[in-house]
Structure 1
């Protein structure tokens, strides 16, 4: 055997593969210098002492180089413990692997942190987990799995779903929050090679809180903000865009983002245009896209342009039924009134914009006014009503009688003027 104790690489036990078992039987493990012969303290000889090494591959070549006193090259290697300490990431040292992988989860969901050890025949002593997250910025041990039990920390959301016998250390985390985002380290402790680990980055996806804020403008000729769409506190940042349909080219958008200290982002997009009657009551859509959403989120919005009532018209819908019509936003309220006369309650019915005369009598004669108003203005229109006569049955009977008498008088007068009465009298005398 030859020994080496270097200041940079403490390779203290280098033996041939077939001598490894003998070394375990005849050597003890020192607290600092590695393996020593039980019967004596052995120091490195000048001929075999290796130089200070800074390169791992150079160390391997020197370890397999022949001793100056040997007659032929000796095939030297390291014990498993030396391999794990000096070359933890080199497949030459060990074929075992700890398999993990990065994971992403939506806030409030459940995620499995995978961790499995493969390609080893060594004895597994324990599996332990460490984390360094937004909520726990310092690396800490929080979960330990032993052959007969597992010890959880204070966070009951973690559940061991692996199998100690199958070298599976996977954990399940439920009700994930943004404070759980970070790096989780799974560590397998083996004998005799020691600890082997892998890191599992956990990425949190936070869906946006979406909303629309209306900014109803008053009719005008200057460009103003019409509506604002907000996708708040999302991770990653949400994409916000507008579908304007027939108004494409007449409206424009502006978008801005604000990043918060907890890693989330708020995206705000506003829609601008000239407030005209043309765009009033037109429908646009705010479309929000984010990895935390199962599908695109669409928020429809009807553009509102406020203006005072336009010209008021009074239409007769039926006999004695009149309606007041105008255009306004918000909708106008209507008030009917009568000039210079009291309001005949029993003869008139008013419902919103309509005025109905229940009977047509001369006492309803007069000038009526319809007033349309909203917070932005007032417009009026007038109705003049004239009833020539009453509508009673006696009046109609008298009128009929007078009409018959007039016709009879007219016939008699015609007969007299034409001489028919004289000829009739002469004939009557002749026969008598």
Structure 2
């Protein structure tokens, strides 16, 4: 029935583990130490330890213990209030001491001088107490060593198998460095080993493997080393060195070598690593025409004739081998008609011109239209009303038209507005003075109206209006009756 109880063996085991962890945690917390101390070889290191406020706990003895990475423990310093200080034989003998002599149990800090890489490890401050037993705190001493980094490329020949094209190394560092590669070519980087040196430092090596091709020659590759002692990664930019025989190409022949053509040139272009050293021109038949001139990688024909109907070969050599190219020249009697230029550009130009003309025409039309609308627009000011002028004797006086209203005894007066220019019959002017000139004037009736008598009858019998206009000596045309 015990297994059916809520406090089964599993439950008891879990409870016990939790209890032990609480006890252990509280015990670790009572001994105050630095979790980690970082130093460099040759420096002095201080390792602090405190047991503050022991309360009812009786401190009987304190010991410093050195534990290697392999787990081997060695006492390096011991203090007992009654028996004093003791420094047992250890890897730090002669270099370790309490900072206070005699030390205090509550603060037994020690110092280690002239630290070496072999001193790296765990340092335990352990108290013998009553009644709780031993209590301790652990400090990890980390020794840093700045590595020596370098990188280089490996000269290889182009081939079909992967080979090492670059190497990178970070030597004598602590802890181990990290190496990475950056490049645009295909391949991969491989870390070889992390070598533990006798002084506890580490050397890291890495290689970059690639199937080399001529196109990879001169490509960028860089090695990047990251280490705890460096604020930023150290980068080594390099360029791959791939060797290959010359690659040759003849340029300059356009299939239009005709009789009489001048200065026809063939150029032998070559690439190779190492740099090509010699360039040789020859023909398939072995005979070079007399009209041909050769200078380094150029073959020039001052004037084309039938003798250059041949196959020309260019050979280029470097330390790895020879590369060559050839071209067969066919001499024509007459030159080829040059192909007509593409009509696309012409059509595009015509369309652009048409669009430009359309834009100009539209702009001119709009300007003309605006000017016309401005001239045809009504005046922006209102003319003053006509004023009655009683000076009929003046020839520039406005004629008055009197009309009798059939519903009223008072006559209605209308005033003619003066036109911009008087209408004058120059043929009727024969006199020497102004009066004769005035009598000779011939007035025409206003447009749409004739001179007729219009009598208005009050009783409604055939009303007619007879305009009574006093023209006098005026040069004004008869008024228009509205």
Task: Name the TM tier (shorter chain).
Answer: 0.3 to 0.5
TM-score (norm 1): 0.43
Which of the two has higher C-alpha Rg? 2
